[in-house]
Structure 1
Amino acid sequence: MSQIEIRTESQINPVGDEVSALIAVIRPILQGLLYALKHEVVAEVGGFSKVKLLMLPRMYRAGDGDIGICFEYAVHDAIKRGESAVVEKVNDGMRKHCKVKGNETSSILFGAEKNGALRLIDTAKELLTDESRLLTGAQAQPVKLRRYINLLAAAFRRPTTRLYLPSSISGAWKADLFIGMKDTDRWVGTSVKTNAAQLEGATGIRVGIVPSRQGKSDKITFDDTKNLVICPLPYDGSFTEIFYSAWVIVQQFIAADAQVPKEASLPSTSQRMVAKLLSERRDFTIVDVIEALAPIAQPELLMTTTEKRPAEPSRDEIANIETLIAPMSRIVTPDA
């Protein structure tokens, strides 16, 4: 008898209160700022794991690219957490335009040394396998990403290394993320920018993720001139608005020497609450603070359950398994 596998994606948590949503985005912002600190300065205190939160105002020097780095970290973290507004958008872009099949969306933070600042290289090999393929839209067989990941990292810093890479992934060294599906092991090079005008096309990059602007459309488009699928993340009451609000909190917190800023600097009650949580932890390392805030951050939003049910076999099929995906609204408790 044939079986039908029914996979149901349920939203297990509402889009949380503003404080927990802000904390969720504050964490990758702190991580981005930490790893953007100059390596020689960090070495003076014993490494990144030794940098206390109260040291951030003294060690941090604002730069034009800081918000962009933190946006990359925030998008990467949102995909890993299952932030529905972000996951749904990138999934639509990958499935409709890049032909990426699968259901387990994931992200690899691809770090290289940019603008003289050390950036974190996420543990790509934990996600990549020997069969991980990088889809570029070229007619050729997709290359195995794991085989070239180290060369791509080196190619950003050393142009001569680029000669050893296949032409089908040219420019992939400029990717900020590799997003894809773990269950099908297919990935696409992705550029993440806070300004859509800064997106650069390349053979090895298929997707561009940018924040949508307040009151503007967040419709997915295809840029013919850059050969990029443009995925604007929604603004009003959603991810982009939360990101900018969290960025303001961190900047005001730094300006206030790791203390709660004046009310005029952070007039919102929720923003001041988050700043207070940070201030209370100023004597701990940034790494520990990021970890400590995890339980009170906006949790993962999606839960996938699978159920197999018997089905009547057709004349031509005896044991076929088909997959159906059914979206469901969030589970509402009586006191919700």
Structure 2
Amino acid sequence: MGEVLTQSFSWRIAIENPNNQKLMSLIGILEGYLSKVTKNHFRLINSKSLDSITLCELGLIYKNSFSKNTGMNGVCWEHSVFHSIYHNHTYIQDLINTAINTLSKETTSERINAILWGSEKPTISLENIKSNIKDGEVIWTPSKEYDFKEYIDLIYNSFNSKTLKGTLPEHITGIWKTDLFVKKKSSNTWYAVTVKWNEYDLKYYPGLSIGIYFEPMNLLRQELNIVPIFNNNNNNMISFVKCAIPFAYNFGEHYTYMFRLVTNILSNINSNIKGTSFLDFPSSDEHHIFRSFYDNRNSPCLQVINHLKDTLKYYINTVKQNEIINATDRQIIIPKPNFTNDNEENYGIKIVPLGVC
């Protein structure tokens, strides 16, 4: 899946463009679905490896398996939250800075780095994660710090081993449930994060520091929603911080919109396009995205995802260089397929085609 560590290439005005927020959600959702493909799913398709699964084949897997899995929303949410950090989303960067300050008693605010933890994700390797951990970096707990490099193998492998779970140190016995690790860019301290779609699924386990969840009813509040959880044995010690991402504050709303759209795309991508219901894609934006995917349905999913990542980076960097943004642009920026004219442009920015069918 490429990067697992955030980098500083974005600019806030670009990220606050709703089109870019929808695009980063789309990337996370596709990655989320692909991350749950197992060996059993290959019996349904012709491809023999994750690298070669096409959009059509992902659609078949969706209809036969994922459409019945109510947990897929949470899986895709986790990947999309990571991409919001990776692309420096203003609200979520501020949310995590505040959470870290609540735990550490710091007062600074800076760029947040994140690692998408891959214990149960076949698309992320331990070696790739290790390459982003430096000597001297530690994992935070309220009682003591743990050397990240010393414990990384044990934490990673504990996910699939009851025996190894029993060997985790006292203060990190639940850290195998981690979804992300985050830290301030200049810091050596990492914080284990659990990401859930529903607040009632968010639980504290020793080793976890921050919990992030979606808040569908928080429609009007725009302030940071931080709730500290105190240690049972010490009321002055904060062990865990709950953080809500509300529906109405850009990212939550855009994610829910794109999740619904992607499920419709995967449901219809193997259908005859003439038979596709208008009700599935009622707006011109939605039909445009569906047609882009439909025309590239035989392209490998990873190729499409990587292209979307390049497209998002290009839009962010273009805005950064030109220092302009047209707030009236309503169309979601997804490249139209099969461009052959070098002068084809969308809102003044040249479009690169998706994968070749």
> 1:130 maps to what in 2?
135
> Counterparts in 2 of 1:3-22, with a 5 A limit?
11-13=12-14, 15-18=16-19, 20-22=20-22
Please state if 1:276 is matched with 2:282. Answer: no
Please state if 1:56 is matched with 2:62. Answer: no
Q: Is the Cα contact below 8 Å between 2:33 and 2:72 reproduced in 1? A: yes
Please state if 1:86 is matched with 2:92. Answer: yes
Q: Give the whole-Å Cα distance in 2 for the aligned partners of 1:84 and 1:331.
A: 20
> Counterparts in 2 of 1:126-205, with a 5 A limit?
126-138=131-143, 140=144, 142-205=145-208
Q: Is the Cα contact below 8 Å between 1:22 and 1:274 reproduced in 2? A: no
Residue of 86, 105, 112 corresponding to 1:105: 112
Letter in 2 for 1:290: I
Q: Give the whole-Å Cα distance in 2 for the aligned partners of 1:255 and 1:335.
A: 33
Check 1:146–1:58 CA distance in 2 against 1; reply closer, same or farther (3 A cut). Answer: same
Q: Is the Cα contact below 8 Å between 1:21 and 1:242 reproduced in 2? A: yes
Q: Give the whole-Å Cα distance in 1 for the aligned partners of 2:122 and 2:132.
A: 22
Q: Is the Cα contact below 8 Å between 2:15 and 2:88 reproduced in 1? A: no
Q: Give the whole-Å Cα distance in 2 for the aligned partners of 1:23 and 1:211.
A: 19
SS in 2 for 1:197: helix
Please state if 1:66 is matched with 2:72. Answer: yes
Letter in 2 for 1:211: F
Q: Is the Cα contact below 8 Å between 2:138 and 2:188 reproduced in 1? A: yes
SS in 2 for 1:91: helix
Q: Is the Cα contact below 8 Å between 1:102 and 1:182 reproduced in 2? A: no
Q: Percent identity?
A: 20
Q: Give the whole-Å Cα distance in 2 for the aligned partners of 1:228 and 1:84.
A: 22
Q: Give the whole-Å Cα distance in 1 for the aligned partners of 2:15 and 2:33.
A: 29
**Greater helix proportion:** 2
Q: Give the superposition deviation at 1:12.
A: 4.6
Normalised by the length of structure 2, the TM-score is 0.74
Q: Give the whole-Å Cα distance in 2 for the aligned partners of 1:191 and 1:90.
A: 12
Q: Is the Cα contact below 8 Å between 2:93 and 2:111 reproduced in 1? A: no
**Greater strand proportion:** 1
Check 1:334–1:120 CA distance in 2 against 1; reply closer, same or farther (3 A cut). Answer: closer
SS in 2 for 1:75: helix
Q: Give the whole-Å Cα distance in 2 for the aligned partners of 1:95 and 1:211.
A: 21
SS in 1 for 2:305: helix
Q: Give the superposition deviation at 1:17.
A: 4.2
Q: Give the superposition deviation at 1:243.
A: 0.7
Letter in 1 for 2:100: M
Check 1:332–1:16 CA distance in 2 against 1; reply closer, same or farther (3 A cut). Answer: same
Is the deviation greater in 48-57 or in 257-266?
257-266
> 1:254 maps to what in 2?
266
Please state if 1:266 is matched with 2:281. Answer: yes
Aligned-residue Cα RMSD (Å) equals 2.9
Check 1:108–1:23 CA distance in 2 against 1; reply closer, same or farther (3 A cut). Answer: same
Q: Give the whole-Å Cα distance in 2 for the aligned partners of 1:264 and 1:243.
A: 20
Q: Give the whole-Å Cα distance in 2 for the aligned partners of 1:110 and 1:93.
A: 19
SS in 2 for 1:13: helix
Is the deviation greater in 48-57 or in 84-93?
84-93
Check 1:14–1:243 CA distance in 2 against 1; reply closer, same or farther (3 A cut). Answer: closer
Check 1:225–1:119 CA distance in 2 against 1; reply closer, same or farther (3 A cut). Answer: farther
Is the deviation greater in 182-191 or in 48-57?
182-191
> 2:236 maps to what in 1?
none
Using CA pairs below 8 Å that are at least 6 residues apart, which structure has the higher relative contact order?
1
Check 1:131–1:21 CA distance in 2 against 1; reply closer, same or farther (3 A cut). Answer: same
Aligned residues: 296
Q: Give the whole-Å Cα distance in 1 for the aligned partners of 2:11 and 2:301.
A: 33
> 1:290 maps to what in 2?
305
Letter in 1 for 2:147: K
Letter in 2 for 1:272: H
Check 1:249–1:84 CA distance in 2 against 1; reply closer, same or farther (3 A cut). Answer: same
C-alpha deviations, 1:115-143, integer Å up to 9, x for none? xx8564472112211211101111x3x11
Q: Is the Cα contact below 8 Å between 1:107 and 1:178 reproduced in 2? A: yes
**Consecutive unaligned residues in structure 2, runs of 5 or more:** 1-9, 233-238, 328-357
Q: Give the whole-Å Cα distance in 1 for the aligned partners of 2:311 and 2:228.
A: 38
Check 1:335–1:193 CA distance in 2 against 1; reply closer, same or farther (3 A cut). Answer: closer
Q: Give the whole-Å Cα distance in 2 for the aligned partners of 1:159 and 1:14.
A: 41
Q: Give the superposition deviation at 1:34.
A: 0.8
> Counterparts in 2 of 1:233-248, with a 5 A limit?
233-248=245-260
Check 1:197–1:216 CA distance in 2 against 1; reply closer, same or farther (3 A cut). Answer: farther
